[in-house]
Structure 1
């Protein structure tokens, strides 16, 4: 794993855990290309505003919960893959999954395709 991959992953999870919309917008602008796309079984969004709204929705659905990366980061070519969990501090995870990240030539995130391995019934 390169330090770049670790930095991208750290910023990605900082975005998901950021409660402040303005600070989150700064993270997104530094991490994602303008035409970025995020898709998982629950969301399909494009662009910085869509990403920020998706994170806000996750905070509303799971107030006080945080996303953490689990395991190592796999990387090849312009792609990264990591696993994650969602949990309240000191509690077992209520959701988890795998994200596959495609990087643009600039090194910013172009696309994330998420797969949910387990989640609560909503």
Structure 2
């Protein structure tokens, strides 16, 4: 069973940095529970399809931008946190934040994204 750290890493690379919707959907099915809840400053969505649509919208806002880890993984039990930054490859980030994930039965069941201000 993957660790919380492994799931967050796979999520960043295979979901939030994956431009192909079919490949992204396959990783979402692998990493997230069927009834995953995703919460950020703008919305709360439930389910893999809603998460996929949310990610598609986020990627459309910054074509070519990439998410990169911006600090070490921290966690306890079934909770994990990882800071990230977003921006053009090789350039200064335009946004940063923190993902907090709760894992249930080897998949991310809840994901909160807190943006840096």
* Aligned partner of residue 97 in structure 2, secondary structure: strand
Q: Is the 2:4–2:79 Cα contact (8 Å) retained in structure 1? A: no
Aligned to 1:13: 12
- Provide the aligned C-alpha RMSD in A: 1.2
CA distance in 2, matches of 1:43, 1:70: 24
CA distance in 1, matches of 2:62, 2:91: 13
Per-residue Cα deviation, 1:50-92 (whole angstroms, up to 9, x for no partner): 1111111011101100111111111101100110000101110
Does residue 1:74 correspond to 2:74, yes or no?
Answer: yes
* Aligned partner of residue 27 in structure 1, secondary structure: helix
CA distance in 2, matches of 1:30, 1:9: 12
Structure 1: where are the runs of 5+ without partners? none
How far 1:6 moved relative to its partner?
3.2
Aligned to 2:109: 110
Q: Is the 1:5–1:73 Cα contact (8 Å) retained in structure 2? A: no
CA distance in 2, matches of 1:36, 1:42: 17
* Aligned partner of residue 42 in structure 2, secondary structure: coil
Greater RCO between the two (CA within 8 Å, min separation 6)?
A: 2
Q: Which runs of 4+ in 1 moved over 2 A?
A: 3-6
Structure 2: where are the runs of 5+ without partners? none
Aligned to 1:41: 41
Number of residues of Structure 1 aligned to a counterpart in Structure 2:
115
